[in-house]
Structure 1
Amino acid sequence: MKKLILNRRAFLGTAAATGATLASPAYLRRSYAAGGEVNIWTYANFVPDEFKEQFESETGIKVNVRLVDDQGKQFNLLAAEADNPTVDIMTVAGHRFLQFIDSDLLAPMDPTRLSNWGNINPVYSESDWSTINGNKWGAPILSGMEVFAYNTEVISPEEATTWDTLFSDKYAGQSAYVLQDMLSIVMLMKGYDGNMVAYLDDPEKAAAIVAEARDFLIEKKPLVRKYYDGGAEVQQMFINQDIVMACAWNGPIASLMSDGFPVAMSIPKQGSYGFVYTYNIANNAPNEDNAYTFLNAILASGEIGASMSRASGFISTYKDASQHLTDAEKASTSFPEEELANMRFFRAEANKMKYELVDPAVEEIKAA
């Protein structure tokens, strides 16, 4: 098994180069051309260049993109503008909705103004995290999640269907995970709500559940090679053959797969947690009509979703995006429907209580 030296710049260049020009979907008619502009704060590659050019040509609406790299910074920028935002659309992760909503920074999303809303996989658009106070707050576009990552030369696809493999004696000393993330997954494995939302009115039960997950991970501590902290670290452990499996975010593993390393990923049958990037409309957006025109256009086809996924490395939320990906791209940026059904999403309602319990548990596991 060969070892690879990761070159993220080369990977991104390759991904960009393989993005074919988007075919022109019939999502707009020149009779609807509105002119003006739409201002978007988003991450790199979340608005495909080909789509932007086509949209501007067909509508006369100029798309102004400001790149962001952090949810907290974006919140502070928007909060500073308060009731007079300069932005129309921003990209908020679903588990950060409450912070923006409670500060009156987002406008409720009106799906009836989006004829292409149905192109989003309902796993994302209709999940419990997406509706707060009776309203939708964003259009899901891309997703990231905790996956079971495994070396395909050692671990079989069947073994990768369960988190139990991560804790098996067979692979002792050949696994890695982020402790805080693993605690949520262990709670899910044991049939509990790892988001702790179900226990907001029963803090004693919440404490008992976290303690049970903590004790399980202490018991299994001799089997783990390392508790790691970041994506680059888990990548390097796979490359150095220090580990053959891990609980990891899909993005770093997708990069390894794209570089040809023999690794794959699954969402085990006990479930996992993920987050979704959404396009959201700012409260008092200066160009609200143009914002809805843009959103309806970018939701128009799986081909657009595939282009976003290919460029960003995240998983498209569009129903038929995978039809427009190569087999290699599908392997790194999509999952079978039956696996997606196992996924839960991080929610924020109980975060204060959750992390007051989880953070000390992490330290106790490390010290055990």
Structure 2
Amino acid sequence: MSKLIFNRRRFLGTAAMTGAALASPAYLRRAHAQGGEVNIWTYNDFVPEAFKEQFEAETGIKVNVRLVDDQGKQFNLLAAEQPNPSVDIMTVAGHRFLQFIESDLLAPMDTDRLSNWDKINPTFSESDWSTINGNKWGVPILSGMEVLSYNTDLVTAEEAQTWDTLFSEKYKGQTAYIIQDMLSIVMLMKGYDGNFIEYADDHEKAAEIMAEIQQFMIEKKPLVRKYYDSGAEIQQMFVNQDIALGHSWNGPAAALINDGFPLAMSIPQEGSYGFVYTLNVANNAPNADNAYTFLDAMLSSPEIGAAMTKASGFISTYKDSAQYLTDLEKKSTSFPEEQLANLQFFRAEENELKYGLMDPAVEAIKAA
């Protein structure tokens, strides 16, 4: 089969058309020009371009977006800049909150300054994971999960029901995954707790388990085509037919599905993890007032939430955003009930133990 050529303009067409529907939400029409700037670190497509342009025109606030692709790199950069960060808003996954909070890198969220806070589905805004030490720490914008994505022309739906297929000889050299994320998933495959909560009082056992998982992934290293970092990378690998299947976040996979690529996703029978992305205000943010203006504007309309889903493929946390999605877009952001039953959410209680073991394991696997 000949390789497809990735047409970026066509791929972003859906997002661009969505942007046209975002004209003049009531919040921005009422906004007074403020001027200045707001600096944002976030993932690709998390800030809809049409919204960004309109926000800048209506408020006079220049939006500077710096793309990130890894929570650990973002943490290290922010830690290096304190106490005078260059960023105002960053995107932190809910299960990484504690790491940022305990290092005094985030400011508690003042929800009284967000008149549109109630536009968020309370499943996300008022859930247990979103409140730490009595404070909210972020604005939930998108939710997602770790999935097995596969080219339906090459891999069967039956094969995609187990993570074992990702490590099979049949697809040697045709797979890709993010090492750190796969460490948790392989723990599930082997019957362990990838959140490490079960090992809170037995760090020695946790270390033994991580050593076992590390050795497994080193042994399977000859089978993988590439360890990757960003959603754009795995999209390109699928489009180029460099890979037949891979671990991915559901967002980048859904974006390809909506573009007509023969891709599907599964939550395999061994299980997987879900997560929520939030926008957070940095501690000592240089433009905190503008940051809150930006966040409130982003929450002002379910159409903006739908635009983020269309562009990123992740599931919007906004109430009523689904009404602005096509049937295909709705389908690409949903899963069968029997697969959803295999899903659990990442938790943060034992992150220090977890990442203290995982980060060295990642480096050891890369170096092996």
- TM-score range (shorter-chain normalised) is 0.7 to 0.9
Query: Residues of 2 paired with 1:90 and 1:239: CA distance?
Result: 30
Map 1:215-226; keep pairs closer than 5 Å. Answer: 221=220, 225-226=223-224
**1:138 Cα deviation (Å)?**
0.8
Contact 2:254/2:313 (<8 A) preserved = yes
Partner letter of residue 7 of structure 2? N
Code of the residue aligned with 2:192 in structure 1: it is Y
Identity of aligned residues (%): 61
Is 1:142 aligned to residue 145 of structure 2? no
Provide the rounded CA distance (Å) in 1 between the counterparts of 2:245 and 2:128: 30
The match for 2:358 is: 355
Question: Deviation at 1:129?
Answer: 4.8
> Does structure 1 residue 68 correspond to structure 2 residue 66?
yes
CA contact (8 A) 2:116 2:296 kept: yes
Give the superposition deviation at 1:228.
2.0
In structure 2, the residue matched to 1:108 is 108
> Which amino acid is 2:345 matched to?
R
Q: Displacement of 1:67 after TM fit?
A: 1.6
Question: CA offsets, 1:182-211, max 9 Å, x none?
Answer: 221021234432132442431122133335
Aligned pair 1:335/2:338, yes or no?
no
- Which residue identity does 1:82 align to in structure 2? P
Deviation by residue 1:24-51 (Cα, 9 ceiling, x = unmatched)? 5555784x75846562424454333443
Quick check: 2:217–2:365 contact (8 Å CA) kept in 1?
no
Q: Which residue of 2 aligns with 1:249?
A: 249
Equivalence map 1:112-127=2 (5 Å): 112-121=112-121, 124-126=124-126
- Aligned residue for 1:194, secondary structure, equals coil
1:263 Cα shift? 0.9
Structure 1 residues without counterparts, runs of 5 or longer: none
* Equivalent AA in structure 1 for residue 201 of structure 2: D
Which residue in the other structure is 2:227 paired with?
229
Instruction: Please say if residues 274 and 346 of structure 1, whose CA atoms lie closer than 8 Å, have aligned partners that are also in contact.
Output: no
Number of aligned positions between the proteins: 357
| Separation in structure 1 between the aligned mates of residue 38 and residue 171 of structure 2, nearest angstrom | 51
SS in 2 for 1:309: helix
Q: How far is the alpha carbon of 1:149 from its aligned partner?
A: 0.6
In structure 2, do the counterparts of structure 1 residues 126 and 265 end up closer, same or farther at CA, with 3 Å as the change threshold? farther
Q: Distance in 1 between matches of 2:24 and 2:277?
A: 25
1:108 Cα deviation (Å)? 0.6
- Higher mean alpha-carbon deviation, 340-349 vs 178-187, is at 340-349
Verify: 1:82 aligned to 2:80, yes or no. Answer: no
**Residue 56 to residue 166, structure 1, CA distance change in 2 (3 Å):** closer
Q: What do residues 139-193 of structure 1 show as CA deviations (whole Å, max 9, x unaligned)? A: 1223454211122245455654543554679x56486243543221021234432
Residue 335 of structure 1 aligns with an amino acid whose one-letter code is: S
Displacement, 1:133? 3.2
Contact 1:148 1:245 survives alignment (8 Å): yes
Q: Could you say which residue in structure 2 is the equivalent of 1:306?
A: 306
Residue pair 2:88, 2:287 contacting (<8 A) in 1 also: yes
Counterpart contact for 1:4–1:261, Cα < 8 Å: no
Inter-partner Cα distance in structure 2 for 1:79 and 1:227: 33
